[in-house]
Chain A
Amino acid sequence: MSAVGRALYRHPTDLAVEGCLNAIADAGLTRDDIDGAAAFHIEGSAGVVEMIDTLGLKVDWFADLSIGPSQISAIFEAIMAVETGRARHVIVFHSSCEGTVRTTLGKGGSMPGSASATPERVSGMPEWWLPFGAPSAGNHIAMYAQRHMHLYGTTREQMAQIPIVQRRNAGLYDKSIYNTPLTMEDYLNARMITEPFCLFDCDIPIDFCTAIVISSTDATSGLRRPPLAVEATSHALKSRPSWDQFDDLSTMVLRDVGLDLWKHTDLTPGDVDVAGVYDGFTFITMAWLEALGFCGKGESGAFIEGGQRISLDGELPINTNGGQLSSGRMHGWGYLPEVCLQLWGDGGARQVPNGPEVGVVASGGGVFAGAMLVTRS
């Protein structure tokens, strides 16, 4: 990982160099060991070709990925590349200067959730919501949350446990953005953004680079850390990838990904010791908890009630570094590194007790989603 901040005023390539070199060194490798590269490349981030040239890599395989399946598509592709023998050590990364762009362009100058300037005319998917004063994914997810509350009696006090518990975790993490404790009173008195979401239900744009080395199972001897195994990945998309045409407005396309994940493993939800679950907005985390089978449909409110179950010493610790709500919007790229640190026992003050062995990572969820299981091999 590179430096992380609200607005670092650094070029995404510069952040990507720092992030990639840190990851390669952390793995106990050198530049010359890397024979593959993949990036999640969107507006405001560094592309893979640029980084191959900048770092002087000589690769047998590379891929520049967009948003499918989910923002961590590059990680899934890299796993398939090493599985099929195209490469031995793949550096995968995502950098972003979204924080700087949002800060520089000011309110209304850029689109929420991106490093893109506000267009004069809109086309593509946003055409169906930007004319209606709904520029944020939060507007859509809030509607899903409202419907969930209507159908299942879910409450804001239940939902509050996600930011409250994660803020406590962030207080134990040196790279968090917000680390002062958050109380139920703070949450209930906070400014509303789009009901039922207040300020604390929404993540925060930042600048960062996350980088990870994905290695072939026969290339792991001599690495600095014990290798972790990818047990399963899931990328299903079986319903309309659309905010308003999706068939069930109380869950999202993550439903199919959650179901599909368990078809690729003998493990069950009860085996998971630590979870990194997308939290761009609180309700998306709740929908993932249901989709991944940690609780039944409509039961996520009761599941997180009181917060104990999802705390560091609970039965399913989630987003142990504060997640995107407290440690910044990493576009889904913060979960895998944090789950790996937990499985290595390197979580420091925020380490999940009793040696976690199985972690789940779930990214995206609204109109595209992906998930994976990682284990201590």
Chain B
Amino acid sequence: MSTVPGPMRIPPLLTELNTDFWTGGLEGELRIQRCTHCATYHHPPTSVCRNCLRGGLTAQAVSGTATVMAFTINHHQWSPTATTEPYVIAIVELPEQDGLRITTNIVNCDVRDVHIDMPVRVVFEPLADVALPLFEPDR
């Protein structure tokens, strides 16, 4: 258990649909749902392929690299037990498919070094029974 308070983090309720995404990191993999018929990736996980409207969606490991599309440096302390230090919330896009994005945090760098179009790669942070996919600079 870390003694350094981080951002206010509320763990997800695990379901049949989302377990692969939230627990893949326990085995070091970023897993994104994909259609077995037309190969379209989906995030967040869904019950039917938005492209071909068929079922048969399975989680698949992706490269773990990404690009920062948008970010904010959060300053507000959202809960009394959360950090008062600024941290970065970002939307990153995965190279596997146009528009395939994850909301996450950019870590392991100065918050002032984060910029749009920055290449990043996944790192996992444990939280309760899941592993959060966070991203760090891909140097």
Q: Which A residues fall within an 8 A CB radius of B?
A: 106-108, 112, 118-123, 127-136, 139-140, 142-144, 146-147, 150, 191-197, 242-245, 247, 249
Docked pose: A139 CA to B81 CA in angstroms? 19
For residue B130, which residues in chain A have a CB less than 8 angstroms away from its CB?
Answer: 131
Inter-subunit contact A244/B78 (CB<8 Å): no
For residue B7, which residues in chain A have a CB less than 8 angstroms away from its CB?
Answer: 132-133
Docked pose: A130 CA to B73 CA in angstroms? 16
* Complex A-B, nearest 3 residue pairs according to Cβ-Cβ distance, in ascending order: A133-B7, A108-B79, A143-B70
Residue of B nearest to A243 (CB): B103
A121 to chain B, nearest CB (A): 4
How many inter-chain residue pairs (CB < 8 Å) link A and B? 125
Docked pose: A140 CA to B104 CA in angstroms? 11
Q: Does B23 contact A (CB under 8 A)?
A: no
Docked pose: A247 CA to B70 CA in angstroms? 13
Inter-subunit contact A139/B101 (CB<8 Å): no
Q: Does B75 contact A (CB under 8 A)?
A: yes
Inter-subunit contact A127/B18 (CB<8 Å): yes
Name the contact of B79 in the complex, choosing from A118, A150, A195 (C-beta under 8 A).
Answer: A118
With contacts A139-B74, A143-B90, A194-B76 taken as known, whether A130 is within 8 angstroms of B69 at the C-beta atoms is: no
Interface size on B, residues (CB 8 A): 41
Inter-subunit contact A123/B70 (CB<8 Å): no
Which stretch of B9-17, B28-36, B56-64 is in the interface?
B9-17
Name the contact of B72 in the complex, choosing from A112, A121, A142 (C-beta under 8 A).
Answer: A142
B20 to chain A, nearest CB (A): 14
Inter-subunit contact B12/A131 (CB<8 Å): yes
B69 to chain A, nearest CB (A): 6
Inter-subunit contact B11/A131 (CB<8 Å): yes
Inter-subunit contact B103/A244 (CB<8 Å): yes
Q: Does B55 contact A (CB under 8 A)?
A: no
Residue of A nearest to B87 (CB): A133
Q: With contacts A133-B105, A146-B72, A150-B116 known, what are 19 further pairs, Cβ within 8 A? A: A107-B80, A118-B79, A122-B10, A129-B103, A131-B132, A132-B103, A132-B134, A133-B9, A140-B103, A146-B70, A193-B74, A194-B72, A194-B75, A194-B89, A195-B74, A242-B44, A245-B43, A247-B99, A249-B69
Docked pose: A249 CA to B99 CA in angstroms? 10
Residue of A nearest to B69 (CB): A249
Docked pose: A129 CA to B99 CA in angstroms? 17
Name the contact of A133 in the complex, choosing from B11, B13, B89, B102 (C-beta under 8 A).
Answer: B89
For residue B95, which residues in chain A have a CB less than 8 angstroms away from its CB?
Answer: none
Residue of A nearest to B130 (CB): A131
Docked pose: A127 CA to B103 CA in angstroms? 10
Inter-subunit contact A193/B116 (CB<8 Å): no
